[in-house]
Amino acid sequence: MNKCYFCKSDGLIEKNVDYSFWWGEKLILFKEVPALVCESCGEKYFRPEISTNMKRMAKEIKDGKRGFKELTIPAVKFEQEGVA
């Protein structure tokens, strides 16, 4: 891949990124994942084997077969103020 699917930019660079996704009821944050990242819009692309490995690791977490560091984050319902 040498062009961003979304913005059509040629500026894809290889770098390690943080990536999070929901797996059932858990939000999982993967740190330092190898990816191609668009320098224009920030879209991230993962090689198929990287995506497969993240899914495997997420399943191992869900099944209690892999340790992880638990983070606590605030969850707040958005309220728009000053709008009639």
Residues 52-65 pLDDT 10s: 999 999 999 888 89
Average pLDDT, the chain: 92
Which of 65, 75, 9, 61 is CA-nearest to residue 39? 9
The model's confidence at residue 14, banded by pLDDT at 50, 70 and 90, is very high
- What distance, in Å, lies between the first and last C-alpha atoms of the chain? 47
Closest to 31 in 3D by CA, of 72, 74, 68: 68
